[in-house]
Amino acid sequence: MITFRFFLKLLISSAFVFFLLQYEPLAAQDRTILAIGAHAGDMEITTGALLAKHSAKGDRVVILHLTPGERGNPAMTPEQYATQKRSEAEEAAIILGAEPIFGPYADGEIPDTEEARRYVNDVIRRIQPTHIITHWKNSIHKDHSITHRIVTDAVLLASLEGVESDYSRHRGVRGIYFAENWEDMQDYQPYIFVDITDSFDVWKEAISRYEFISGDISAFPYYDYYTSLARVRGALARSTYAITFAIDEFGKRITWQHLP
């Protein structure tokens, strides 16, 4: 049975939108980018260079952190580290030219619930994004995979009339993109490559505001990994630096009348 959700996914699929935009480019400030991460730092490290690039073009950029990621520092209490992470996120947002929003959830405890979907639905309706970036569906971190499910469902909720909300519905999402995160690599297939060479230095400055990226909190070498990955992806994209996104399978189905 063909459902409304099938048509919604087709409508907002990234590749379909990309095809249309070849013939109708978006003017400056026509884009509003909403990046939704499970923890403060998730979206900056994976897609911050793209956010900085769009901000420099005059587009509005908003980052929603569902949690601060406050339980990742063994030397601090969650309350202390939450305060530090929020401060770091605000500093990074200023550098990237983004607006930070902090969600109401706790690190490791993002609820896979209707309430969480309605919260993100309200954010989408209020911000009215044209493009959304979030986590890939498979992850070793449950907060990431739950965030993926919440966001994709919330896009549908935000488009529907009659859903209880303080904001009017929003059907203007042109694409949903899934960022490349080292914890989310199961079945991740890069589909879109974006040249970030001109915003690479701004991105490095922004992510360095996070102690877990530039310091010794984590055994994982975040800074080295993501700067090196940008160079590897850049080589494949025939540029100096690049990042990649996966998209929904619906987005890979394009009908052409002739070769573009």
Kindly state the percentage of the chain with pLDDT values over 70: 89
| Position 8 in a domain | no
Q: pLDDT, tens digit, for every residue of 139-166?
A: 999 999 999 999 999 999 999 999 999 9
| Position 78 in a domain | yes
Distance CA 84, CA 248 (A): 35
Tell me how many degrees the CA angle 161-165-171 measures, rounded to the nearest 5: 45
| Position 19 in a domain | no
Domain count, the chain: 1
Distance CA 41, CA 143 (A): 13
Q: What is the mean pLDDT of residues 10-37?
A: 58
Q: For residue 127, how far is the Cα from the chain centroid? A: 14
- CATH number of the domain that 34 lies in? 3.40.50.10320
Q: How far is CA 145 from CA 43, 81, 142, 171, in A?
A: 14, 23, 5, 24
| Position 221 in a domain | yes
| Position 187 in a domain | yes
Q: pLDDT, tens digit, for every residue of 30-86?
A: 899 999 999 999 999 999 999 999 999 999 999 999 999 999 999 999 999 999 999
Residue closest to 65 by CA, chosen among 118, 104, 92: 104
Distance CA 120, CA 65 (A): 11
| Position 2 in a domain | no
The three-class DSSP label of residue 244 is strand
| Position 100 in a domain | yes
Average pLDDT along the chain: 91
| Position 14 in a domain | no
The region that residue 97 occupies, defined by phi over 0 for left and psi between -120 and 50 for alpha, beta otherwise, is left
Q: pLDDT, tens digit, for every residue of 221-242?
A: 999 999 999 999 999 999 999 9
Distance CA 125, CA 133 (A): 16
Computed over its alpha carbons, how large is the radius of gyration of the chain? Answer: 18
Q: Are residues 13 and 247 in contact, defined by beta-carbon separation less than 8 angstroms?
A: yes
68 token code pair = 């601060």
Q: State which residues form the domain around 115.
A: 29-247
Q: State pTM to two decimals.
A: 0.89
Q: Describe the crossing of helices 42-56 and 200-207 by its angle, rounded to 10 degrees.
A: 140
Q: Are residues 51 and 61 in contact, defined by beta-carbon separation less than 8 angstroms?
A: yes
Distance CA 32, CA 126 (A): 12
Q: How far is CA 123 from CA 45, 62, 149, 172, 249, in A?
A: 22, 10, 16, 14, 25
